């Protein structure tokens, strides 16, 4: 099979590249320089010329606050390009694996969101991702949408790396305690994506939630990162209001993973266990 991975220089794209080094399938990794997904014609030509069977769309406009001022660009990358990509997938009988976000929800729930929960994004970024989900579902292509949250890993820049760095430099850190969700270790998500492709599960189409198991606040997450790094930094809880940002985030975005676990026969590690794996990988490199 021929597999195109877009947004390949991002944290998930790079993590997938690391995970498929021994595959007998042919992977084509492209970031914006090689293939700008907003250029629908270029995407179509690339898919045709390389006989692409699967597109894994890791490309995204992910600057959540900046998107409030750049709604048109965010929509072009996160929504319009994805709608066009879904059409290319349909026309060329390819499967589209697309990544979405917990920010499609408004966070007013008090039980975990299922795949059928009502979307009601609070931010431009969330709206563009919600629109992408609808466009993919309406396109008629074969698709798997994986909706994930709080992504971090060994590649790219992310919350874990920032807290490791900040806790080495500061005796005290204040971190938001009134946003509740679940971190996702990019290596775990990449593992699922690769397994879907390599283990012949591409026919299990639909939308799925995927994060690690468990529930925490950003404060809990930061506290655990510090504890595992051994940094002597006091992590203190604070409210969202103390850190006003352009984009509104959901206060609660825990994802129910029953469907993904059943459909793909997987067990998902608890976020603390996956954090330990990541911290061991980063040890000696950034702390
Ligand atoms: N990070 C999170 O916490 C999080 C949470 C939930 C869901 N997700 C979703 O997970 C997916 C992967 O996220 P990530 O953290 O790996 O994102 P990332 O690190 O920001 O990677 C996205 C990549 O897409 C590239 N890109 C941007 N515009 C493009 C274009 N027009 N054509 C081709 N490539 C383009 C980016 O390049 P530049 O850097 O040059 O712009 C970047 O290399 C995204 O769909 C995201 O929405 C992420």
Q: What HEC string does 161-209 produce?
A: HHHHHHHHHCCEEEEECCCEECCEEHHHHHHHHHHHHHCCCCCCCEEEE
Of 140, 28, 129, 20, residue with least CA distance to 86: 140
Helix (H) or strand (E) holding 123: none
Ligand 1 in contact with 141 (CB < 6 A)?
A: no
Cβ neighbours around 205 below 10 Å, total: 16
**So what's the pLDDT on residue 142?**
98
**So what's the pLDDT on residue 280?**
97
Which ligand 1 atom minimizes the distance to the CA of 15? 16
Distance of CA 7 from the midpoint of ligand 1 (Å): 6
Dist. CA 115–CA 84, nearest whole Å? 23
- In the numeric block, the tokens 């021929």 are attached to 2
Distance of CA 234 from the midpoint of ligand 1 (Å): 32
* Ligand 1 pocket mutation, candidates 28, 33, 151, 207, criterion most atoms within 8 A of CB: 151
**So what's the pLDDT on residue 284?**
93
**So what's the pLDDT on residue 216?**
98
Q: 108 is written with which tokens?
A: 């007013």
Ligand 1 in contact with 132 (CB < 6 A)?
A: no
**So what's the pLDDT on residue 101?**
98
Burial (CB count within 10 angstroms: exposed 0-12, middle 13-18, buried 19+), residue 83: middle
Distance of CA 28 from the midpoint of ligand 1 (Å): 17
* Ligand 1 pocket mutation, candidates 13, 17, 56, 58, criterion most atoms within 8 A of CB: 58
Give helix 159-169 / helix 218-229 axis angle, nearest 10°: 60
Tens-binned pLDDT, residue by residue, of the chain (287 aa): 999 999 999 999 999 999 999 999 999 999 999 999 999 999 999 999 999 999 999 999 999 999 999 999 999 999 999 999 999 999 999 999 999 999 999 999 999 999 999 999 999 999 999 999 999 999 999 999 999 999 999 999 999 999 999 999 999 999 999 999 999 999 999 999 999 999 999 999 999 999 999 999 999 999 999 999 999 999 999 999 998 899 999 999 999 999 999 999 999 999 999 999 999 999 999 99
Dist. CA 271–CA 273, nearest whole Å? 6
Dist. CA 259–CA 207, nearest whole Å? 9
Distance of CA 112 from the midpoint of ligand 1 (Å): 25
pTM: 0.98
Q: 263 is written with which tokens?
A: 């459909």
* Ligand 1 pocket mutation, candidates 6, 10, 102, 156, criterion most atoms within 8 A of CB: 10
Of 180, 113, 179, 187, residue with least CA distance to 147: 113
Backbone angles phi, psi at 286, to 5 degrees: -120, -5
**So what's the pLDDT on residue 130?**
98
Helix (H) or strand (E) holding 132: helix 124-139
Give the residue numbers marked as catalytic: 125
Q: Whose CA is nearest to atom 2 of ligand 1?
A: 151
Ligand 1 in contact with 73 (CB < 6 A)?
A: no
Backbone angles phi, psi at 214, to 5 degrees: 95, 175
Q: Whose CA is nearest to atom 18 of ligand 1?
A: 10
Those residues whose C-beta lies under 8 Å from the C-beta of residue 190, and which sit 6 or more positions away, are 12, 15, 16, 18, 19, 153
- Alpha-carbon dihedral sign for residues 271, 18, 32, 206: negative
Cβ atoms of 140 and 1 closer than 8 Å: no
Q: Whose CA is nearest to atom 1 of ligand 1?
A: 151
What is the β-pairing status of strands 234-238 and 172-176?
parallel
Angle at 15 between CA 279 and CA 28, to 5 degrees: 170
């Amino acid at each position: 099979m021929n597999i195109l991975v877009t947004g390949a220089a991002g944290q998930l794209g790079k993590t997938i590249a690391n995970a498929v080094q021994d595959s007998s399938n042919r992977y084509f990794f492209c970031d914006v320089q090689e293939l700008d997904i907003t250029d629908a014609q270029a995407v179509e030509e690339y898919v045709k010329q390389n006989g692409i069977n699967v597109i894994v769309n890791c490309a995204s406009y992910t600057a959540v606050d900046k998107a409030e001022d750049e709604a048109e660009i965010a929509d072009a990358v996160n929504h319009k390009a994805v709608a066009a990509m879904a059409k290319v997938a349909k026309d060329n009988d390819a499967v589209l694996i697309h990544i979405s976000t917990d920010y499609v929800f408004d966070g007013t729930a008090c039980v975990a969101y299922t795949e059928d929960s009502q979307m009601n994004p609070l931010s431009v970024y969330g709206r563009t991702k919600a629109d992408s989900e609808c466009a993919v579902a309406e396109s008629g292509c074969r698709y798997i949408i994986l909706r994930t949250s709080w992504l971090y890993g060994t590649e790219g820049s992310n919350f874990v790396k920032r807290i490791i760095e900040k806790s080495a430099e500061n005796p005290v850190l204040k971190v938001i305690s009134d946003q509740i969700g679940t971190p996702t270790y990019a290596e775990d998500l990449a593992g699922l994506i690769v397994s879907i492709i390599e283990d012949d599960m591409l026919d299990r189409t639909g939308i799925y939630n995927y994060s690690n198991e468990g529930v925490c606040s950003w404060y809990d997450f930061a506290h655990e990162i510090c504890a595992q790094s051994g940094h002597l930094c006091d992590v203190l809880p604070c409210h969202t209001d103390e850190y006003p940002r352009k984009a509104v985030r959901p206060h609660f975005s825990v994802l129910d993973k029953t469907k993904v676990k059943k459909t793909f026969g997987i067990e998902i590690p608890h976020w603390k266990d996956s954090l330990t794996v990541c911290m061991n990988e980063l040890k000696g490199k950034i702390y």
